[in-house]
Chains A and B, each alone.
Chain A
Amino acid sequence: MKLDDSRPIFQQIKEYIEDMIINETLAIEERVPSTNEFAKYYKINPATAAKGINELVDEGIIYKKRGVGMFVTEQAKEIVFQKRKSAFVTNYITPMKQEAAKLGLSYEDLVEMVTKEEEHNEN
């Protein structure tokens, strides 16, 4: 992951861990790098890294074991999945529909484009 300066860094750290959970690079009960490891590796302020990690703890995606570290919870993948699914509309569907309206594309046009794109990928 490469950090960019135009978005809160804690969010980027958070999404990075979530991505690893979604694609199972981090499995259930696996250890998540610590705040200090993130801070040192990405050369970011430790408080910033901690903010991202603490939000994941609050959301039940990772949990702290005292003196040992942080680990992926059993329900982590499901929580992240649900979260991403509800963000999907705002992040992808709404902008797509706005652009479609600008270009005068109908609902049918959109469905056709999605289907075609899928076929194209299969070939």
Chain B
Amino acid sequence: MKIEVINLSKRYGKKTALQNLNFLIEEPKIYGLLGKNGAGKTTFMELLSGLMRASSGELLVDGVTPFDNQRMMENICFVGEANNFKKELKVKHVLNINRLFYPTWDHSLAEELIANFNLDMDTKVKALSKGMESALGIVVGLASKAAITIFDEPYIGLDASSRSYFYELLIEHYDKYPRTIILSTHLIDEVSALFEEVIILENGQLLLKEEAETLRESCFSISGERQKINNFTAEKKVIYQKDFMNERTVVLLEEDRTTIENAGFSIHTVSLQDLIVYLTDKKREVKQ
């Protein structure tokens, strides 16, 4: 499904959560929605899920606003950080409600995953541990088979092996039923290989939208004698800079490895996790 974000803004009272956001999601891919706390990620996902109305601008899914539009919301499954389900419901009730809501719901998959995560159908949500509640959210997200499936930090309380199982499931089901999956997380090192594209928000605005592999190929940290580095980077996109003795280290974006190598600087690659830190940490010395 096509997602168009046009001058999208959301304010809560005086606080602006999203400010004139513009971008387009056209293809079914796995997207990583990244940024610091308070960058606007959850607000964006809630608007996309039709859970609230934009203050101004538009968010259109296949041309229509999801808010208050059940036919559209049937295509969108949002799994939040916690409190996705009413506390008094039993696991089986949660599944049945979602089964009624999503036309694409796969009940045998839901049952299989419930068993694999060792959840009991008759346990009430309030009696589930945090990790078990997260697992239930993951099951609902995957079994919904919704054309747009959104996971917002879906693994509070989940141990490393269950998270690893979740990643495996995500790949498997995305592969079988390609759809738009948006995954928002702070555990970037753990999941970055799952992303085809990353969307980075900062202070309610779009900082970057790029293919994950392109970022891995175009972001480098280089070090060398201060003046030489300055000459080399004069016209380049420097996102971070640090000095040690007479040596200067800079992080470059949109750069080509060969150019750097030919210039004779020592070069290091930058992981997606570090890139986000460099891009969004304003306390560091950044040269424009």
Which has the most chain B C-beta neighbours within 10 Å: A3, A5, A40, A47?
A5
Binary A-proximity of B262-276 (CB < 8 A = 1, otherwise 0): 001000111111000
Chain B 7-34 interface mask (CB, 8 Å, partner A; 1/0): 0000000000000000000000110000
Query: With the chains together, A45 CA to B211 CA distance in Å?
Result: 11
Q: Is the CB of B193 within 8 A of A7?
A: no
Docked-complex contact A39 and B189, CB < 8 angstroms: no
Complex: chain A residue closest to B170, CB-CB: A43
* Residues of B close to A57: CB separation below 8 A: none
Is B193 touching A6 in the complex (CB atoms < 8 A)? no
> Is A42's CB within 8 Å of the partner chain B?
yes
Assess A43 versus B194: contact at CB under 8 Å? Given A6-B271, A7-B269: yes
Chain B interface size band reads 20 to 34
Bound: A5/B174 CA distance, A: 21
Which secondary structure dominates where chain A touches chain B? helix
The reply to whether A8 and B171 contact each other, CB–CB distance below 8 Å, is: no
A5 & B272 in contact (Cβ 8 Å cutoff): yes
Q: Give chain B residues whose Cβ lies under 8 Å from the Cβ of A40.
A: 168, 171-172, 175
Q: Are B175 and A9 in contact (CB under 8 A)?
A: no
Answer whether residue B55 sits at the interface, using C-beta atoms and an 8 A cutoff: no
Check: B242 CB closer than 8 A to any chain A CB.
no
Mark B213-227 against chain A: 1 for CB-CB distance below 8 A, else 0.
100110000000000
Find out whether the CB atom of A44 lies under 8 angstroms from the CB atom of B269. no
Per the bound structure, the CA–CA distance linking A4 and B271 in Å amounts to: 8
**Would you list which residues of chain B between 130 and 187 have a CB under 8 Å from chain A?**
164, 167-168, 171-172, 174-175
What residues of A have a CB within 8 angstroms of the CB of B212 in the complex?
A: 45, 48
In the complex, A31→B163 CA distance in Å? 31
Q: Which of A35-63 contact B (CB under 8 A)?
A: 36, 39-40, 42-48, 51
Residues on A with C-beta less than 8 A from B268 are 6
Q: Is A71 an interface residue (CB 8 A)?
A: no
- From residue A101, how far is it (CB to closest CB) to chain B in Å? 11
Choose one: B189, B195, B271; the contact of A45 (CB below 8 Å): B195
Q: Mark A1-43, 1 if CB is under 8 A from B, else 0.
A: 0011111111000000000000000000000000010011011
The answer to whether B29 touches A43, judged by C-beta atoms less than 8 angstroms apart, is: no
Q: Are B196 and A45 in contact (CB under 8 A)?
A: yes
Hey, which chain B residues are within 8 Å of A75, CB to CB?
none
Residues of chain A having any CB pair with chain B under 8 Å: 3-10, 36, 39-40, 42-48, 51, 98
29 examples of A-B residue contacts, CB within 8 angstroms: A4-B271, A5-B189, A5-B193, A5-B216, A5-B271, A5-B272, A7-B216, A7-B269, A8-B213, A9-B193, A9-B213, A10-B213, A40-B168, A43-B164, A43-B167, A43-B193, A43-B194, A44-B171, A44-B193, A44-B194, A45-B29, A45-B171, A45-B193, A45-B194, A45-B196, A47-B29, A48-B193, A48-B212, A48-B213
Interface residues of B, Cβ cutoff 8 Å to A: 29-30, 164, 167-168, 171-172, 174-175, 189, 192-196, 212-213, 216-217, 264, 268-273
User: Which 9 A-B pairs give the minimum distances between C-beta atoms?
Assistant: A6-B269, A5-B271, A44-B193, A43-B167, A8-B216, A45-B196, A8-B213, A6-B271, A8-B217
